[in-house]
Structure 1
C-alpha cells in the first residue's frame, strides 16, 4: 500500500471533521493508501511534522483552515523531495480552496484528493525563511484574520471576520513606503497592500483579480494609497469589489514575480491569515510550481470558468 500522512486541526471551522473522520479514512484506505494520522496540538506543529516526516510519504493530506495549510506547506518547502499534497478545507473562509474549487464537503474533497489529477502550484517566499500559499498582506483589516478568537470564528464563521473588520475601520494606520516590482516602482503613503495567488480574499471575490493562474510564476499585487479621510476607504474597497477592472488612481494593480516593500518603520504582515512578523523590508518571491497539489478539476479550467 502507498504511504500517506494525514494531519488535521480538530478546532478549525466548526469542528466538522470530528463526525467525518471515519468516512475520510475509509476513502483513503479504499484508494490503496495506508494513512498515518496526526492531530495538531499547537500552532505551527504541522510544519514540524511536515518537515520531519513528509519525505517518507507519497501523499501528505491536511485538513484545517488556511493557516493549517500554510503550516504544512511551509514545512514541505524545506524538503528536497516533496510529496504530493491534498487539502480538505475546514476553516472559516478557506480562500485557497475557493480559488481552486476544492469542495467544502470534506468527504467529497477527500475523494478528489485520491482520484483527481496532480498539478504544480506556485508558492510565495517571504524573506529568507517564511512561505505563503496564496496571500501576503499588510495594513487595513489584515490584523483581523489572526486576532479574531477561534471560538468566535467557530460560532459565526465568515461573519466573524466581517464584524471584526467593521470594528477595525476606526483604527487605520498609514505607511510611507517604496514599492518595487518586475518592471516598475513607486513611493507614497499606503493603507493596505496584498500580494496574492488567489481569486478569493477574506471570502470575497473582486479584491483579487479574476484571471489568476496558479502556476505561471506571477503574483497579483494590489496596493491602496492612503485616502484623504478614513471614510473614503470603504468606497475604494467597494469599487474594487463591484468594478474590479475599473481604473482607480488610489489603487495600484500589477503582476510580478517579485515584490519589495521598504519602509522606515516596521510593518506587520499577514501570511495566509496568520501573523507573519514585522519588518522594514519585505522581499516577496514567487517560487514557480514549488509543490504538487492533488485535486479536481484542473486549476486552469477553473480560471476559465471564473473569468467567464
Structure 2
C-alpha cells in the first residue's frame, strides 16, 4: 500500500524561500517511498494546525512541517492530541529554528533538511502539554512566563547575528526599568517554590534563542522538563545572571532554581492573583496563568539528524 506524505509549508518563512524549494522537497519525499503532496499555509488562524489534523485523520504516514518555530508548533498542536499521530519531519525556514537545531536538522538549505528523511533515523520525542483553564496547548521547545520572558524572544534575529549574546545583554539593560515581579506558587516534582519571581522557563531542548547553554542538561526524549526559576534580583544582579545564563554558568547561582520535572503547576497568588500573566509557548502566547504542564513522554516520532541531546 502506498505511503502518503504531506508537506505543510509557510510561504513567507525564511525570506520567502520555501515556495522555490517545494518541487525539490516533494522529489526527495518520493525518493523516500512516499506519495507526496504539498499544502501552502494561509493567513487564516490555525491553517497549519487544521491541515495537520486533517491529513493525520486521513491516514497520511508522514507530515513535513516547513517554516519557523511557530509553524512547527502549529503542526505539533494539530497532532499531539491524537492517539496515533503520524511521523513528523522538520524543514527549518525561520530565523532561530531552535527545535530543528536541537534535532540536528540542517538549517541552511530546505532540500538538504528534507534529505534527512532518506536516512530513516527517527526517534519518539517528548511533547509538552499546557493545560489552561479553558483550553490545552502543546509545545516542543520552551514555555515561559514572567516579566523577563520578552528577553527570550524580543531580540531581532539580525541583531543576534551581529552581536551574539551581547545582544541579549543590551536588550536586558533596555528592559530593566520596566521589569516587575510576580508573586507565584510553582509546584513541581521535587518541591514547591512560593514567592516573588522574575521568570520561569520550562525547556524541552537545550536551544533557546539560538543559545545552547541555558538548559545544559536537556535531553529530547527523557520524559523530563528542564525548569529554571529566576528569583527576584536587583537590576545589576539580573544583568549578571543573564550573562551567566548565556554561557551556561548560571545553574548553581543562589538566585536560580534549576531542576528537572515531569509536571509543573503555575499559579499567581497574593497581590498578583488578579493580574493577567501570559504564558509563552515556542515564541507565541499560548494562554494565561494558571496553567498545568505535563511532559508527554515520546509522544511524536520525528526524523532526526546528528544530535547529542537524545536519550534512547
Range class of TM-score, shorter chain: 0.7 to 0.9
Return the alpha-carbon distance in structure 2 between the equivalents of residues 122 and 46 of structure 1: 20
Q: Is the 8 A contact 1:143 1:270 kept in 2?
A: no
Aligned residues: 294
Within the candidate set 66, 69, 88, 1:66 is matched to 69
Return the alpha-carbon distance in structure 2 between the equivalents of residues 109 and 282 of structure 1: 35
Match status 1:296 vs 2:305: yes
Return the alpha-carbon distance in structure 2 between the equivalents of residues 64 and 169 of structure 1: 33
Q: How does 1:93-132 map to 2 (within 5 A)?
A: 93-104=96-107, 105-127=109-131, 129-132=136-139
Deviation sequence 1:199-222 (CA, Å, 0-9, x none): 11111122112x322111100000
Match status 1:249 vs 2:254: yes
Return the alpha-carbon distance in structure 1 between the equivalents of residues 231 and 240 of structure 2: 13
Provide closer, same or farther for how the CA distance between residues 91 and 30 of structure 1 changes in structure 2, counting only shifts above 3 A: same
Return the alpha-carbon distance in structure 2 between the equivalents of residues 13 and 170 of structure 1: 33
Higher mean alpha-carbon deviation, 67-76 vs 33-42, is at 33-42
Return the alpha-carbon distance in structure 2 between the equivalents of residues 270 and 4 of structure 1: 30
Return the alpha-carbon distance in structure 2 between the equivalents of residues 22 and 245 of structure 1: 45
Normalized against structure 2, the TM-score is what? 0.86
**What is the deviation of 1:125?**
0.5
Q: Which residue of 2 aligns with 1:286?
A: 295
Match status 1:9 vs 2:10: yes
Match status 1:200 vs 2:204: no
Provide closer, same or farther for how the CA distance between residues 206 and 59 of structure 1 changes in structure 2, counting only shifts above 3 A: same
Match status 1:19 vs 2:26: no
Higher mean alpha-carbon deviation, 236-245 vs 196-205, is at 236-245
Q: Is the 8 A contact 2:251 2:258 kept in 1?
A: no
Match status 1:217 vs 2:223: yes
**Where in structure 2 are there 5+ consecutive unaligned residues?**
none
Deviation sequence 1:141-161 (CA, Å, 0-9, x none): 53467778xxx76x7685698
Q: Which residue of 1 aligns with 2:195?
A: 188
Q: Is the 8 A contact 2:206 2:219 kept in 1?
A: no
Return the alpha-carbon distance in structure 1 between the equivalents of residues 142 and 297 of structure 2: 15
Q: Which residue of 1 aligns with 2:278?
A: 268
**Where in structure 1 are there 5+ consecutive unaligned residues?**
none
Normalized per residue, the structure richer in strand is 1
Q: Which residue of 2 aligns with 1:240?
A: 245
Q: Is the 8 A contact 1:5 1:35 kept in 2?
A: yes
